Structure 1
Amino acid sequence: MRADATAVPAGHTAEPLPPEPSRGRLAGVATMIGSGLSNQTGAAIGSLAFPVLGPVGVVAVRQYVAAVALTAVARPGLRSLTWWQWRPVLGLALVFGTMNLSLYTAIDRIGLGLAVTLEFLGPLAIALGGARRRVDAWCAVIAAAGAVTLMRPRPSTDYLGLGLGLLAACCWASYIILNRTVGRRVPGAQGSAAAALVSAVMFLPVGIAVVLRHPPTAGAIGCAVAAGVLSSAVPYLADLFTLRRVPAQAFGLFMSVNPLLAALVGWIGLGQGLGGAEWAAIAAVVSANTAGMLARGGRCTAG
């Protein structure tokens, strides 16, 4: 996820602008591919700093980078926000930090592919929760079968890691709901930027504690910063570009393959091999979301 997510940026609840001509669409598709790879590669690079900083330290640095990037883009007017606007922003900040922390801790325990796949159950549940059609019911059954396969009891099963992956899924579902509220109450991307700033402030004591307890190396800090840039700043800006150049259906469908991208990056970049059952489970979750997206006419799960 970009654990800020893999969702449409706050403030973009309206329909995207009409797609540009074919050249613009090609650029948009290339950007989507780059964004997805950037997101998962950033998470993989961030995991290299776990032995020194731990998942908590990496997430803290990532929150700082996200806050700097979003503030530079959106330039939120914090003093002009009313309490009615601040309430969902504060909720978004809390969920944002919890989502990233639970995801990165799950990555540390069960690997990138499985953690991202479990996290993706959050937006999938939001998309299918209010559905009434038979195809949506079948999508839910397929996704549930995939989740059960991933969480089946085995001697080596890390139940805490699986639980953290599911916590990240719950946070992502909450993030989507709060994002919609923030998008309605706060203009543009100012709500996302304000939430990122608050989240960064919340993680300041964590960052200080990590530095004092385990003085970080330059390499570890570099990996954590790279995670923030590749998994937060780049995907966010890429989404702003993409939403103006490709249909909503294409954007939503590409988002649905992020678990597969995460599994491939984990396998190739980190040597986190998966068994046949795990690959089948990931394919089931991706297929369920893809089928549901096509049946819904391309409405993005994270709008």
Structure 2
Amino acid sequence: MTTTRAPETPKTGRATGIALMAASPLSNQTGAAIGSLAFPVITPAGVVAVRQWIAAGVLLAITRPRWRSFTAAQWRLIAALAVVFAVINLALYSAVDRIGLGLAVTLEFLGPLTVALAGSRRRIDLGCALLAGAGVAVLMRPQPSTDYLGMGLALLAAVCWGCYILLNHRLGRSLPGAQGTATACGLSGLVYIPLGIAVLLAHPPTTTAVVCAVTAGVASSAVPFLFDALALRRVPAPLFAICMSLNPALAATTGLLILDQHLDPTQWLSIAAIVVANATTILTRR
């Protein structure tokens, strides 16, 4: 006897979408925190290599790109996006190793916020930009323990995230589905084969380190990609974007609970200011 699943009602579909939407950033930041536990053994570069390999395998298996149909112009966009993929995670994980998960993700989040505010002439967006800028100024204020290299790496990741949004937008209009993104991720994974092998040979991994790195690949790449795709079918894009704006706060909380990385009250307020600036920008747009 076979049974068929009852179709989702709008109400249950929205509830499922909200659950997936909340689980995605939580999985992403938890994976990043667990992956950072392997830094002392295989370095951030080793963790990033494993994460890139897993992400490439998952995305290519899901999308199955038709490479023979790609044009030269599309391949140029894909190559540019592959460079972004190769740099963004290495820059971010190196920053996490130096300044902690919460601060690194908060500074990285300036990438999408800048893209959202760029070109806007609304007064409220100017206010949001000033609020976010004040938060960044407080986070990067000179102190005896300030790690400017770590902050610079996080800002490099922010630039890459902004480029990722713009390139992905162009690829999405040029290629159906996520074929371009998956192909770029695959090319990035190929780049990391020699680098990853060299790092793992120089820093022999332990079983625990491998498990942490693989967990980062699954929780920070495969799970968010799947959950985001499913959530966007059930909830409006603005609601989804607001939930994504909570990533800095989730990163700081995850860093505290898993990595015992403590932030002072001023840093928490700065993170909150950046989150509020992003959420306000989204909420006030039509």
Structure ranking higher in helix proportion: 2
For 1:109, which of 76, 98, 101 is the aligned residue? 98
Structure 1 Cα separation of the partners of residues 194 and 221 of structure 2: 21
Question: What is the root-mean-square deviation in Å for CA atoms of aligned residues?
Answer: 1.0
Structure 2 Cα separation of the partners of residues 114 and 203 of structure 1: 26
For 1:238, which of 227, 238, 242 is the aligned residue? 227
How many matched pairs?
Answer: 279
**Greater gyration radius:** 2
Aligned match of 1:39:
28
Per-residue CA shift, 1:212-258, capped at 9, x if unaligned?
21111111111111101000000001011000101112101101111
For 1:193, which of 157, 172, 182 is the aligned residue? 182
For 1:80, which of 69, 93, 104 is the aligned residue? 69
Structure 1 Cα separation of the partners of residues 275 and 237 of structure 2: 17
Structure 2 Cα separation of the partners of residues 123 and 287 of structure 1: 14
Q: Does 1:30 align with 2:25?
A: no
Per-residue CA shift, 1:186-237, capped at 9, x if unaligned?
2111111101100000111111101221111111111111101000000001
| SS of equivalent to 2:43 | helix
Aligned match of 2:284:
295
Structure 2 Cα separation of the partners of residues 283 and 179 of structure 1: 28
Map 1:3-152; keep pairs closer than 5 Å.
21-152=10-141
For 1:217, which of 182, 197, 206 is the aligned residue? 206
Task: Name the TM-score, length of structure 1 as normaliser.
Answer: 0.91
Structure 1 letter corresponding to 2:270: A
Aligned match of 1:170:
159
Structure 2 letter corresponding to 1:234: V
**Unmatched runs of 5 consecutive residues or more in structure 2:** 1-7
Aligned match of 1:205:
194
Per-residue CA shift, 1:257-300, capped at 9, x if unaligned?
11000000001111001001100100000000011111113xxx
On the 8 A contact 1:114/1:263 being kept in 2, the answer is: yes
Q: Does 1:258 align with 2:220?
A: no
Aligned match of 2:4:
none
For 1:229, which of 218, 233, 246 is the aligned residue? 218
Structure 2 Cα separation of the partners of residues 56 and 112 of structure 1: 16
On the 8 A contact 1:20/1:244 being kept in 2, the answer is: no
| SS of equivalent to 1:155 | coil
For 1:269, which of 225, 238, 258 is the aligned residue? 258
State the shift of 1:43 in Å: 0.1
On the 8 A contact 1:20/1:245 being kept in 2, the answer is: no
Per-residue CA shift, 1:76-123, capped at 9, x if unaligned?
122322211101011001001101110000000000000000000010
Aligned match of 1:180:
169
Structure 2 Cα separation of the partners of residues 270 and 23 of structure 1: 36
State the shift of 1:20 in Å: 6.3
Task: Name the TM-score, length of structure 2 as normaliser.
Answer: 0.96
Structure 2 letter corresponding to 1:28: G
Structure 2 Cα separation of the partners of residues 263 and 171 of structure 1: 21
Structure 2 Cα separation of the partners of residues 79 and 60 of structure 1: 27
Structure 2 Cα separation of the partners of residues 39 and 182 of structure 1: 24
Q: Percent identity at matched positions?
A: 59
Structure 1 letter corresponding to 2:179: Q
Provide closer, same or farther for how the CA distance between residues 20 and 205 of structure 1 changes in structure 2, counting only shifts above 3 A: farther
**Unmatched runs of 5 consecutive residues or more in structure 1:** 1-18, 298-303
Structure 1 Cα separation of the partners of residues 90 and 200 of structure 2: 17
Runs of 4+ in 1 over 2 A off after TM superposition: none
Aligned match of 1:157:
146
